[in-house]
Chain A
């Protein structure tokens, strides 16, 4: 064993997906130790929640996992609704499911594109993914008026009904995206170079995944069939037919494939939901005042895993304690074990396949 070299990867590095700082111990080109440093994007969001009213905090949840803002909005609103016993109309529930699943598709498209870019497929897959994403982002823009920080969900409903013609746009998108998924498989999934780079790299065993409390597609890629939409159905997820894609080995390729399959399943859910939207008023006005007492923990299935909100209310207009369990944080904790013994270029591959978003790790 030769001399060990310590190198700093990040906090400003194109493949760390944000301001993540990895202190790598190298023996030649092999990683023998890894230390993760966090905190470069800390904005004390949990403390902010304790100083804002329930409605005022919704825009801040956009900034947690900024690739899946709708799902964050949804998780927080569901938690507050359960805490304060707020009723939601059936139409709002269906709209929430459709919007959340569309956002899941967006998030997974970005994950796939950036993962391929990390492996060296310079910009082509990323731009293909982004041009698909653009269609949904445009749709979200017309629904809620923003392209990234949507702030669409409200406590007890949504901020506005979908504009006329949206259903047709979504139906067209489903048709279009199914064709695109075949193209992704041709371009990436079964490409020999892609397989050589990602197959059997960074294997996360079933036991290790559970021990690290890894959730979401990463857990399912390791072979654990666990999806909160099936196990603890919230909203109206129990009314739809969909499968849970699982991997076999738990390597980087499985993690990629599970995400690609989940897009297909999300499209299935959207297709069923769009045909069954009930009539009614989904809008919840922002001038409603919420207050109450209680304690709640509610978790939802985000694109990256389980997002949990722990809220304590003591009668005021704001929660006295807010704890956020973010999926990327737990998923990242498995990294140190995964990249030991790999080459440094494979470490980038594993980090890309874990698909972290620093916004919700540092909060």
Chain B
């Protein structure tokens, strides 16, 4: 009985040392984490951030509205008197509903709507989040980490 007890202590100690070997090997390696707020990782090219729009490129085809699985986009337009020119009256984006799937980006025929590189999206007011005016050039200016 005593022999088994001592044997178990010995084996436990041995596997502890073996584990420490792995740990010490990692102690000498470079850190894998970033000192985040100071050092920021650049986003990948295909990264799906906030929904953004080039208003000039939009041809008002409504495909992004139809494909959006969560109905986060809202578009309205009016036709001018010559029955040819269309003007966007509103194009808003609800960041709270958005699931960042990127289907609107994929389906857009003129690449007007796209997902930008923003990832730090915190707002002070709830109202700012649910009705982002995509037509405004200053839509993400007051957001922490906003670029456009």
Contact = CB atoms under 8 A, between A and B. Distances in A.
- Which range holds the interface residue count of chain B? 20 to 34
Interface in B1-33: 8, 11-12, 14-16, 18-19, 21-23, 25-26, 32
Interface residues of A, number: 34
B48 A145 contact: yes
Nearest to B103: A286
A59 B69 contact: yes
B69 A159 contact: no
Given A145-B115, A190-B15, A128 B26 contact: yes
A128 B18 CA distance: 16
Contacts of B46: 141-145, 160, 163
A186 B103 contact: no
Interface of A: 52, 55-60, 124, 128, 131, 134, 138, 141-146, 149, 151, 159-160, 163, 183, 186-187, 190-194, 285-287
B11 A159 contact: no
Given A128-B26, A146-B100, A193-B15, 17 more contacts: A56-B69, A59-B101, A141-B47, A142-B46, A145-B48, A149-B100, A160-B46, A163-B45, A186-B19, A187-B22, A191-B18, A191-B19, A192-B8, A192-B12, A192-B16, A285-B106, A286-B106
B12 A193 contact: yes
Nearest to A128: B26
B127 interface: no
B121 interface: no
A146 B18 contact: no
B106 A159 contact: yes
Contacts of A143: 46
A60 B22 CA distance: 40
B9 to A, nearest CB: 9
B44 A186 contact: no
B107 interface: yes
B15 A57 contact: no
Contact of B102 (A55, A151, A285): A151
A52 B106 CA distance: 17
